[in-house]
Amino acid sequence: MNPSFSLKTIFKLLAIFVIVYVVFYPEPDGNSEIIDTKRTNMDRLRISHSFINNVYYYKNSKSLGKNAVAIVMVTDQWSHNMTEIPLTIIGKNETSKVKSTTRSQMDGVTTCRYITTVALTNTVENPESLEIQSRNGEIMSIPFKHAKTTAPSKVMICISPQFAAEQWQLFIMHVHISRHFGAHMHIYITSIIESYFKIMLEYEKAGYVTIQQWIRMKFIDPKSDYFDPNPHVEWRNQAGAQTDCLLQYKEAVDYIAFFDIDDLLFPKYATSYWEEFNYMYSLRPASSSLYYKRREHEFLKPSTLDKFNFIEIVGSLRSSPSLKSGKVVIQPEKYNSTWIHFSQNHSKRSRFEIRSPHLVHVQRPKQQNGNDTIKDLWKMTFDQLNETIREMDVLALQLDFLMRKNDSEVIQEMQHRLPDSDFYLPIVFKCYYDRFYSWAFDAKQQSDNFGTCPNADECYLPQRQEYPCIHSDANYKSGPKMKPFSFHYATDITWSDQIGCYQ
Ligand SMILES: *[C@@H]1O[C@H](CO)[C@@H](O)[C@H](O)[C@H]1NC(C)=O
Ligand SMILES: *[C@@H]1O[C@H](CO)[C@@H](O)[C@H](O)[C@H]1NC(C)=O
Ligand SMILES: *[C@@H]1O[C@H](CO)[C@@H](O)[C@H](O)[C@H]1NC(C)=O
Ligand SMILES: *[C@@H]1O[C@H](CO)[C@@H](O)[C@H](O)[C@H]1NC(C)=O
Ligand SMILES: *[C@@H]1O[C@H](CO)[C@@H](O)[C@H](O)[C@H]1NC(C)=O
Ligand SMILES: *[C@@H]1O[C@H](CO)[C@@H](O)[C@H](O)[C@H]1NC(C)=O
Ligand SMILES: CC(=O)N[C@H]1CO[C@H](CO)[C@@H](O)[C@@H]1O
């Protein structure tokens, strides 16, 4: 045997082994959070993480078909683009098993790593389980709910998530206006002052509002490197909450409005929202949405419930000449997802922009107690009220408010524990201003945050002994290591009085 030949062979084999090892041995995917406080790291990860907010099953959907499934989640769009990569869903019932693929759409900005995503498919009838199967063969079971088939009203107003919520005045105003014009309010809460929360629960009992927890997203067992979604999604995933509201009421109502708590709409052509929206759609039936621009307003915010009076509040309203980007009212069969202002899956031309009325945007109240520092930060001018609010409606609102208060011992008891001046508003407003409003609306383009993901998750919120807070809480689950998307979700969602007033 020639020893040099066998040595050569050994070297060849070694070289082949090294090449095979380099090509096929999986690069480790880590297991840790990548910290990116500047929110500018655009690295692509081998695995995109995704947090599932909710999964809905529709036995019969006008727009999604029979046995439809809608998954609403946030996905890391910079690592993998879910609109280009279908997911495989396995639905099982007693007798059948159906494997289908999804079609996804995203709604949000490309400047944030995580984006609201809806994946749609059709599956077995009456599924007992739903699973996602990944390209690497891993299977994960996902919890699902039946979408609603009935609702308290034909018009739903979905209110984006509230955190460190203290402006009970805005809630009382909005919830009575919503009720008076025939809508039901669905509100998402992350954290809220306890006394305010107890009053909100009274309105829920009386059938004015439905309250739902909006939780923080968490990857409890990520199994590969990840970015925390909370600081890397647009405004606490507000678009996700609005999309969740759309998907749960999709088959149950005629109209859905995606508003903030400070976006008030007074109908102008009819006495109820339902008739007003019917009328608007009759003018342009093919519209994807009714688009109401927002007009800034200031008003005198009462410091106590005793001083709360719709006649005085409306009397103090003053309008700004400027109009800001608006909010939409939609027919749910025409929408599968939405963003904060409208769905980006519809052309601008398809939106019916309503010339009048506008939303009465009450972001800038003046206080009876306390100073108004937010007004110095971002200055605006106000003149006499330039929106139509009927006196008859204002009187009815005041009467309904008095009756509600008179009817509820809890409201009477809690009213003395409500905060009489703003504490969190100036802190949150300053934080939002620095992170976003300054460069987006107030021409301060030298901001360090120019063009970055609109998010204020890292803003510091002090806590106060005298005003305890209720916060959403949950347990979390992570699926196996799935490629290219790994999924996480929450279970046992509840309220906690142990967390405090945080985002
Ligand atoms: C919503 O999804 C359904 C089912 O995939 C589709 O037929 C419909 O066109 C979608 N609508 C919009 C507005 O994207
Ligand atoms: C994802 O893919 C869609 C469809 O191809 C495209 O419109 C969108 O810009 C892509 N998003 C990103 C972040 O690349
Ligand atoms: C299971 O799904 C199949 C296919 O959708 C359907 O034909 C069957 O009726 C379903 N079984 C039950 C018990 O709903
Ligand atoms: C305004 O009130 C806030 C909190 O109530 C306080 O921290 C701040 O110093 C006050 N500012 C002025 C100018 O009085
Ligand atoms: C009131 O609004 C109308 C249009 O909606 C505008 O033409 C008019 O100038 C406004 N008046 C004032 C005083 O701002
Ligand atoms: C308030 O409630 C009391 C009894 O509960 C009733 O007698 C009174 O008429 C009510 N007042 C109003 C304004 O509804
Ligand atoms: C304008 C727009 O983005 N339209 C898209 C809406 O979603 C459907 C289905 O995903 C696409 O086919 C459209 O191009």
Structural domains in the chain, CATH included, are 48-146 (2.60.40), 155-474+491-496 (3.90.550)
CA of 386 to the centre of ligand 5 (A): 6
As a whole number of angstroms, the distance between CA 313 and CA 307 comes to 10
pLDDT in tens, 261-285: 999 999 999 999 999 999 999 999 9
Average pLDDT over residues 300-305: 96
- Asked if residues 390 and 266 have their Cβ atoms less than 8 Å apart, the reply is yes
Task: Give residue 110 CA to ligand 2 midpoint distance, Å.
Answer: 9
State mean pLDDT over 414-439. 87
Identity of residue 269: Y
Residues 191/499, Cβ–Cβ less than 8 Å? yes
Q: Is 41 in the pocket of ligand 4 (CB under 6 A)?
A: no
Which tens digit of pLDDT belongs to each residue from 390-418? 999 999 999 999 999 999 999 999 999 99
* Nearest partner of 350 among 292, 280, 294, 289, judged by Cα: 289
Mean pLDDT of 24-39: 81
| Tokens 């007074």 -> residue | 266
Paired tokens of 371: 């100073």
Q: Which strand (E) or helix (H) includes residue 357? A: strand 351-361
Give the model's pLDDT for residue 93.
Answer: 98
Using DSSP, how many helices (H) and how many strands (E) does the chain show?
11, 23
Q: Is the CB of 68 within 6 Å of ligand 3?
A: no
Query: Among 327-331, 395-399, 450-454, which is the least confidently predicted range?
Result: 450-454
Decide the pairing of beta strands 114-122 and 103-107: antiparallel
| Burial environment of residue 214 by CB neighbours within 10 A (0 to 12, 13 to 18, 19 or more) | buried
Q: Are 189 and 472 in contact (CB under 8 A)?
A: yes
Q: Average the pLDDT over 78-98 and give the result.
A: 97
Q: Which of 291-305, 345-359, 432-446 has the lowest mean pLDDT?
A: 432-446
What are the φ and ψ backbone dihedral angles of 301, each rounded to 5 degrees? -85, 120
Encoded amino acid at 157, one letter: I
Q: Note whether 55 and 143 are within 8 A (CB).
A: yes
Pocket perturbation via mutation, ligand 4, pick of 366, 373, 460 by most ligand atoms within 8 A of CB: 373
Distance 120 CA to ligand 1 centre (A): 9
What H or E segment, with its residue span, contains residue 101? strand 97-101
Q: Render the burial of 372-397: b for 16+ CB within 10 Å, e for the rest.
A: bebbeebeeebeebebebeeebbeeb
Angle formed by the axes of helices 168-180 and 194-205, to 10°? 10
Query: How much is the pLDDT for 440?
Result: 73
Q: Give how far the C-alpha of residue 122 lies from the chain's centroid of Cα atoms, to the nearest Å.
A: 25
Distance 486 CA to ligand 7 centre (A): 25
d(CA 216, CA 220): 12
Q: At residue 5, does pLDDT exceed 80? A: no
In the predicted structure, residue 53 carries a pLDDT above the cut 80: yes
- Residue 14's pLDDT is 76
pTM confidence score:
0.92
Which bound ligand lies closest to the C-alpha atom of 69?
1
Residue 24 pLDDT class (50, 70, 90 cuts): low
Please state the rounded mean pLDDT for residues 83-102: 98
Contact 313, 398 (CB under 8 A): no
| Contact (CB, 8 A) for 245 and 199 | no
Query: What is the number of the ligand closest to the CA of 95?
Result: 3
Most informative mutation of 336, 342, 343, 346 for ligand 1 (most atoms within 8 A of CB): 336
Of the pLDDT bands very low, low, confident and very high (cuts 50, 70, 90), residue 435 is confident
Model confidence at 4, in pLDDT bands (50, 70, 90)?
low
- Least confident among 195-199, 278-282, 417-421, 429-433: 429-433
CA–CA dist 412, 25 (Å, integer): 68
Exposed (0-12), middle (13-18) or buried (19+): which is 6, by Cβ within 10 Å?
Answer: exposed
Does the pLDDT at position 215 exceed 90?
A: yes
Percentage, residues of the chain above pLDDT 70: 95
Pairing of strands 48-61, 65-76: antiparallel
Instruction: Return the ligand number nearest the Cα of 355.
Output: 5
402 close to ligand 6 (CB < 6 Angstrom): yes
CA dihedral 293→296→302→305, nearest 10 degrees, is 10
